[in-house]
A = this chain, B = another copy of it.
Amino acid sequence: MGCIICCGLGPGDPGLMSVRADREIRAATHVAYFRKKDQLGQARRIVDGMLAEDVREYPMEYPVTTEIAFDSSDYVGLLASFYDEWAERLAQLAKTTNVVVLCEGDPYFYGSFMHLHARLKGRVAIEVIAGIPGMVGCWNAVGQPIALGDDVTTVLMATLPQHELERRMRNSDALVIMKTGRNLAKVRRALNAASRLDDAWLVERGTMPTQRVARLRDVDDECPYFAVVLVHGRGRRIETDA
């Protein structure tokens, strides 16, 4: 009887993976990971050079592209079948062997693996190994404390309506905005309306070799890949005793 081992990969730099995830991935005989159609996939790329030569790989290719509206019933139906099928397949595999599932960031924090987790729980033994969330890698890339003292930190998805983003941006010290991509223009307008644009950073592929860190106001392109927007809190600093 095997089990499913979901390894949080952290933000992208393999050196930031946990000691335990590193060990499980190197020892894996069966590895599954999500990816978009016809792409190698970010998760798979992070473990490049770590997998055993005879490892069996199971790329779980999303059945939809961004062409289908996010909240359409077609989209939800396609995704549900996709997760159902892969849950079944992984459960069958785990009858005879351990299967390592690769997950960017931390699996419990907005992670797609959770849709499999909900379907596999109770059917098969599952171990989840925590990882450094992508946003943590991004604020480390900027190199300033994201929050201190009694700062309030709010994590927002850029998919929310602009007025909702703006209201929450006004109402928090530190801000993390994820799933930016095509929503970056909206995020920029909301930050501007909330008077936070000048303090905002854009971090693309934080901790990866192709990392980019820039002031959001200096960024021209509207659709960066895998980017997080950050606004730092201003929490209690203990000033030098003068």
Interface residues of A (CB under 8 A from B): 10-11, 14-20, 22, 76-77, 79-81, 83-84, 106, 108-111, 114-115, 117-119, 128-133, 136-137, 139-140, 143-157, 159-160, 168, 171-172, 207, 235, 237-241
Q: Are A237 and B115 in contact (CB under 8 A)?
A: yes
Residue of B nearest to A133 (CB): B136
Q: Are A241 and B81 in contact (CB under 8 A)?
A: yes
Q: Which of B83, B108, B143 interacts with A146 by CB under 8 Å?
A: B108
13 A–B contacts from the bound complex (CB under 8 Å): A14-B19, A15-B18, A17-B18, A19-B19, A79-B238, A80-B240, A84-B241, A106-B132, A114-B145, A114-B148, A131-B132, A131-B136, A150-B160
CB-CB under 8 A for A15 and B11, given A130-B140, A146-B109: no
The residues of B that contact A150 with a CB separation of less than 8 Å are 157, 159-160
Q: Are B11 and A16 in contact (CB under 8 A)?
A: no
Residue picked from A111, A139, A152, most chain B C-beta under 10 Å: A152
Shortest A9–chain B CB gap in Å is 11
Q: Are B147 and A110 in contact (CB under 8 A)?
A: yes
Q: Please report the C-alpha to C-alpha distance between residue A81 and residue B240 in the assembled complex, in whole angstroms.
A: 7
The residues of B that contact A235 with a CB separation of less than 8 Å are 110
Residue picked from A143, A146, A149, A238, most chain B C-beta under 10 Å: A238
Q: Are B140 and A128 in contact (CB under 8 A)?
A: yes
Q: Which of B109, B136, B145, B237 interacts with A139 by CB under 8 Å?
A: B109
Q: Are B22 and A110 in contact (CB under 8 A)?
A: no
Residue picked from A14, A81, A114, most chain B C-beta under 10 Å: A114
Residue of B nearest to A141 (CB): B130
